[in-house]
């Protein structure tokens, strides 16, 4: 799992449309990211991320969360971690994944689980960070790729990109501009982490 010419194996977890997964895939296909997406998993059977994966010929599966709508049960996390280990996944990328990852996932993948969040953390953690920024009258927002720890959006920061909040911004227009930055920041963060992975 050293850097160099090693192709990093990624497991992508998402809940929604999968635009960040698509950005990672685009970076792989244009040669700017030496990685492969081994599997895409979603807790939402209707998430478009699954359709994107299937169209790209990437294995895609639904995560069994035991019928819970927001909770991520320990046994589900254990089964997921074992599946990813069996596929030799090097890095897990959360891409709009709406459940909190904790042990045993964190234990099995220390400093190998990344998340992208639509704010300059530590500002505006949690849901709809773009709405929080507009409501707060912020003049600047952006996005952060960070390592996942046991908290909500509290792990060590890998990379950030800033976006000005314009006077006429709505939550939607700000979110759209943040997403543009997300789509270049996430592949860059994966490249940075891949270099740091030791064999």
Residue 36 CA to residue 41 CA, distance in Å, equals 15
Cis, peptide link before residue 125, omega less than 30° from 0: no
**Helix, strand, coil share of the chain (percent; to 5):** 35, 20, 45
Catalytic residue among 117, 146, 175, 183: 117
CB atoms within 10 A of CB 35: 21
Sequence-separated (6 or more) residues with CB below 8 Å from residue 57: none
Q: Which two tokens stand for residue 25?
A: 């895939």
CB atoms within 10 A of CB 132: 18
- Structure token digits, residue 79: 């089964």
Within 23-74, strands assigned E span: 35-42, 60-62
DSSP helix/strand/coil, 113: strand
| Residue 6 annotated in active site | no
Q: Known catalytic residues?
A: 117
């Amino acid at each position: 799992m050293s850097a160099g010419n090693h192709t990093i194996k990624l497991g992508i977890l998402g809940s929604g449309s999968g635009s960040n997964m698509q950005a990672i895939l685009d970076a792989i296909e244009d040669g700017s990211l030496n990685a492969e997406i081994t599997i895409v998993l979603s807790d939402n059977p209707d998430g478009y991320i699954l359709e994107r994966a299937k169209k790209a010929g990437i294995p895609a599966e639904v995560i069994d969360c035991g019928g819970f709508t927001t909770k991520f049960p320990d046994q589900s996390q254990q089964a997921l971690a074992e599946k990813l280990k069996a596929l030799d996944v090097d890095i897990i990328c959360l891409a709009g994944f709406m459940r909190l990852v904790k042990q045993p996932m964190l234990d099995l993948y220390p400093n190998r689980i990344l998340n992208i969040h639509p704010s300059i953390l530590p500002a505006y953690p949690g849901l709809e960070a773009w709405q929080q920024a507009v409501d707060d009258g912020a003049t600047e927002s952006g996005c952060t790729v960070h390592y996942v720890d046991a908290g909500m959006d509290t792990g060590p920061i890998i990379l950030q990109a800033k976006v000005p909040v314009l006077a006429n911004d709505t939550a939607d227009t700000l979110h759209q501009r943040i997403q543009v930055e997300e789509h270049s920041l996430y592949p860059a963060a994966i490249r940075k982490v891949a270099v740091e992975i030791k064999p």
